[in-house]
Amino acid sequence: MNKHILGVDWGTSNRRAYLVDQHGACLAEHDDDQGMLAVGGRDRFGASLAGVLDAMQLGAGVPVILSGMVGSASGWQEVPYLDAAVPLEQLPRHLASVADPAWAGRARIVPGYCYRGEAGADVMRGEETQLLGAVALGHRDGWLVLPGTHSKWVLLRDGVIQSFATFMTGELFAMLSAGGTLSAMMSGDSKQAEGFAAGLKQAARHEPLSNTLFRVRAGVVSKSAPAEQAAATVSGLLIGAEFAAAARAAEGQGIAVIGSPALAARYAVAAGYFGLKCEVLDPHRVYCTAISQFIQQA
């Protein structure tokens, strides 16, 4: 059995790598901005991965587990989605070997999941690995929320995905900050408590998001609201829209959030506003625990 394994969370913009032992302990880590978009082409992923191992001073014998956008149609090689009915604990049986001859037999890619419900299909890549870690840590049932560029609300029953929904919260915030009529007034702190609470309050009224977003601008230009709160209000509106749509299903159960400390803290505040109990899970521990589950298959 391999005692050490390298897990690489390869996202669209960023990449994080963790050397993990069979107990899920992190022995070394590395992060950079060499996400999928920065690699520069499918034929360059192998060299890019070699750069990670060089930076971490790892030898050629360490098996590698890759998760995230590396398995998408725009990544190193496309790996088909698993159906949501496949238990998360079976993920190690469904790894796809990297076809690149230099990495064949050594590097494997974790497949994402596809859920097909009455409202249509939804997909995830990368979050399934964190969900596996959460299940391994005992979170087999209930709602798990994974905030980020594309936030996920996932319902688990005995380690099996019952449903999930994606919200483009982080992406919308980035787009509104980068251009359009709101961008000029979004230079303030998005974590500012009063502005964030104002956004949550408006979202709880279930008013149309496009209208409440415009009212942020109207409030500033009419001097009815301080400009320094605009970014936080937009953040509250977008995160609040998630809770307005999904919180009712989680009543009486609460949620567990897997995310960076700053972002998870905002979701915890929102959960309290919408009357939900909230547990915050350490994303690094969750991910490293997940990677340790792949050791026997590596």
For residue 147, is it within any domain?
A: no
| Res. 60 pLDDT band, cuts 50 70 90 | confident
Q: 149 pLDDT exceeds 60?
A: yes
| Overall pTM > 0.75 | yes
Residues 119 and 14 both lie in one domain: yes
Question: Which residues have C-beta within 8 Å of that of residue 217, sequence separation ≥ 6?
Answer: 181, 182, 185, 230
**4-10/82-83 β-pairing:** unpaired
The answer to whether residue 236 is domain-embedded is: yes
Per-residue pLDDT of 8-51, as tens digits, reads 999 999 999 999 999 999 999 999 999 999 998 999 999 999 99
Q: Is residue 144 part of a domain?
A: no
Question: Is residue 178 one of the residues assigned to a domain?
Answer: yes
For residues 151 and 126, the answer to whether their CB atoms sit within 8 Å is no
Q: Taking residues 141-157, what's their average pLDDT?
A: 96
- Identify whether residues 194 and 261 lie together within a single domain: yes
Q: For residue 194, what are its two tokens? A: 């009063």
Name the domain count of the chain.
Answer: 2
Confidence of residue 2 (pLDDT cuts 50, 70, 90): low
Give the mean model confidence (pLDDT) for residues 93-122. Answer: 95
Residue 204 shares a structural domain with residue 102: no
Q: What is the Cα–Cα distance from 223 to 48, expressed in whole angstroms?
A: 50
- Rounded mean pLDDT of 253-270? 95
* Same domain for 190 and 126: no
Residue range(s) defining the domain that contains residue 65: 4-138+285-297
Q: Is residue 161 part of a domain?
A: no
Supply the pLDDT for residue 1. 52
Are the C-beta atoms of residues 236 and 195 closer than 8 Å to each other?
A: yes
Residue 295 CA to residue 23 CA, distance in Å, equals 10
User: What integer pLDDT is reported at residue 107 of this predicted model?
Assistant: 97
CATH number assigned to the domain comprising residue 132? 3.30.420.300
> Are 184 and 221 in a shared domain?
yes
Predicted confidence at residue 296, as pLDDT, reads 74
- Give me the pLDDT at residue 252, please: 86
Mean pLDDT over all residues of the chain? 95
Kindly state the average pLDDT of the residues 244-263.
93
Give the pLDDT of residue 3.
86
> Torsion angle of alpha carbons 100, 103, 107, 111, nearest 10°?
0
Q: Tell me: the pLDDT tens digits for 110-133?
A: 999 999 999 899 999 999 999 999
Q: Is residue 149 part of a domain?
A: no
